[in-house]
Amino acid sequence: MSNKTSLYLYDISKASQPLPEEVFSADELAHFEKMSSDKRRHEFLHGRLLIKSVLKNLYAVKNPTILKKKSGKPYVRGFKINLSHSSDYLALAVSKDVEIGVDIEQSGPKKHFLKIAEQYFSATENKFIRAPKDLVTQEWRFKNIWCLKEAFIKTIGGKIDKKSLSISFDLLKNKIESSPSRKELQFHLCEKEHLTVCSEGRTSLEVFKVRFDSGHKPFLAKTKLKFISLT
């Protein structure tokens, strides 16, 4: 398999705060200054740092400029990228070969998850979620499926609606049961975390943890996370 995707995980709770002018373009800085939420400003700043530093230092892109497709999906010329954030973690997927989407979800409680599943999930998915008797396991299964669906939506650049959520997974057989997309899809689902990478076409996956030095240069460490492949 020649297609490759790299996933970079960044814990921003342990990171020093970069200066906005060290990271942003003029347009990004103007957007940043209009943000009213400190949380969103923090995530946006570190998200841009992660994308730009990884592409500049690991992929030799001299001046990474983040563009958007009509769907709103971000990209950098020559690269497919996708970013997800959850609490203190950012997950960045990068590929030269295939369209990709990534989703990472918090491990905290999700309100009304069974009602959400009844409304938007398939019969197979609902049966899988409700098979265990305890709510903790049910919620874990729900979040894994939600993570798969979210990664799919981010891959195709669509919106969260009944059509995009209609993709169905059989996690007892580790396969895609049905999909609204005609393109070949592959999912990498983490065994221990609510973390999923989706691609249009087959791809191998490498996963790294990232930290930055004082000059915002990234240092990588391979993770021991294991992923299940669904096609």
* Tokens of residue 91, six digits: 């997950």
What secondary structure letter does DSSP report for 16?
Answer: P
Q: Please choose, from the candidates 162, 132, 136, 139, the residue with its C-alpha nearest in 3D space to the C-alpha of residue 149.
A: 162
Please state, in angstroms and rounded to a whole number, the distance separating the CA atoms of residues 192 and 189. 9
**pLDDT, tens only, 33-72:** 999 999 889 999 999 999 999 999 999 999 999 999 988 8
Phi first, then psi, for residue 111 (nearest 5°) are: -70, 140
55-59 long-range Cβ contacts below 8 angstroms, 24+ apart: 55/79, 55/81, 55/94, 57/217, 57/218, 58/218, 58/220, 59/94
Tell me the whole-structure pTM to 2 decimals: 0.94
Q: What is the pLDDT along the chain (231 residues), one digit of tens a residue?
A: 579 999 999 999 888 889 999 999 999 999 999 999 998 899 999 999 999 999 999 999 999 999 999 888 999 999 999 999 988 899 999 999 999 999 999 766 677 999 999 999 999 999 999 999 999 999 999 999 999 999 999 999 988 888 999 999 999 999 999 999 999 999 999 999 999 999 999 999 999 999 998 888 999 999 999 999 999
pLDDT score of 16: 85
Task: Enumerate domains of the chain plus CATH numbers.
Answer: 4-230 (3.90.470.20)
pLDDT score of 64: 94
